[in-house]
Structure 1
Amino acid sequence: MNGVEVSKEISDLNLTYLLLAQRLLRQDRAAAMFRLGITRELADMVVGMSLSQIVRLAATNFVLCGFRLGDVPSMGSMVQESKDHALQQAHLSILLAARCNDPHVQAAA
């Protein structure tokens, strides 16, 4: 895969992510902010963006979304086979909720 193909795939990913984020925020703002891990200010910005602004932002050469589970043990625990999928999902929700309430994470967002 060459650099042009990578840039195109990053742009496609960004566009898909931004359009999904905007749709989720319009449907249920609080749930979307939690699921996306974004602040109120960023949610306001995304909702207020026009399609041309979204396309322009998506064209950047950097991936705009990222892994929310930034450490190997958390990610590892979520990909292991589990007999109780509901419990695994509850564990993930607790991890992400705790991270959202961490002032250091909010400052970086």
Structure 2
Amino acid sequence: MTADQILAEIREANLSYLMLAQSLIRTDREQALYRLGVNEDTAAMIDMLTPAQMMKIASGNTLLCRFRMDDDLVWNLLTNHGKSAANDGIGRLHASILMAGRHQEAA
């Protein structure tokens, strides 16, 4: 993949992310805050963006979204390393609880 292709993919991901975020915020704000991992001020700003503003923001060369799972515990729970398929649901639930707690700490 060339540098130009990577930049085009980043721009497309940014626009998709902004459109999804705005839709989530307008549909169910509380769920959006949790699922996106943003605070109320950021949600309000995303909610008010016009299509032209979203295009301008998305055209940058840096991803707007990021992974929130930045520790081994959550990654291991999500990927089920060393666990049976039967524990998959429990691991995902545990990971969701950990991430929800971190969202509350950040808010």
- Normalized against structure 1, the TM-score is what? 0.87
Correspondence for 1:66: 66
In structure 1, what is the Cα distance between the partners aligned to 2:76 and 2:48?
Answer: 36
User: Are the aligned partners of 1:82 and 1:88 in contact in 2 as well (CA < 8 Å)?
Assistant: no
Letter in 2 for 1:2: T
Task: Answer yes or no: is 1:97 the counterpart of 2:100.
Answer: yes
What is the percent sequence identity of the aligned residues? 33
* In 2: Cα distance, 1:65 partner to 1:27 partner: 20
Aligned residues: 104
1:15 and 1:82 map into 2 onto residues whose CA distance is 35
Gaps of 5+ in 1: none
Which sits farther off after the overlay, 53-62 or 68-77?
A: 68-77
Which position in structure 2 is the counterpart of 1:25? Answer: 25
Q: What are structure 2's unaligned runs of at least 5 residues? A: none
Aligned-pair distance for 1:85? 4.0
Report the residue type matching 2:92 in the other structure. Q
Matched residue SS, 1:62: coil
Partner SS, residue 86 of structure 2: coil
Backbone CA RMSD of aligned residues: 1.4
Which string of whole-angstrom CA distances, capped at 9 and with x for unpartnered residues, describes residues 58-96 of structure 1? 011001101011112311221115314442332122111
Give the distance between the partners of 2:19 and 2:91, measured in 1 at CA. Answer: 28
Could you tell me how far apart the structure 2 residues matched to 1:63 and 1:73 are? Answer: 24
**Separation in 2 of the partners of 1:15 and 1:42?**
16
Give distance in 1, aligned partners of 2:48 and 2:92.
Answer: 31
Contact 2:77–2:95 at 8 Å: present in 1 too? no
Aligned equivalent of 2:47: 47
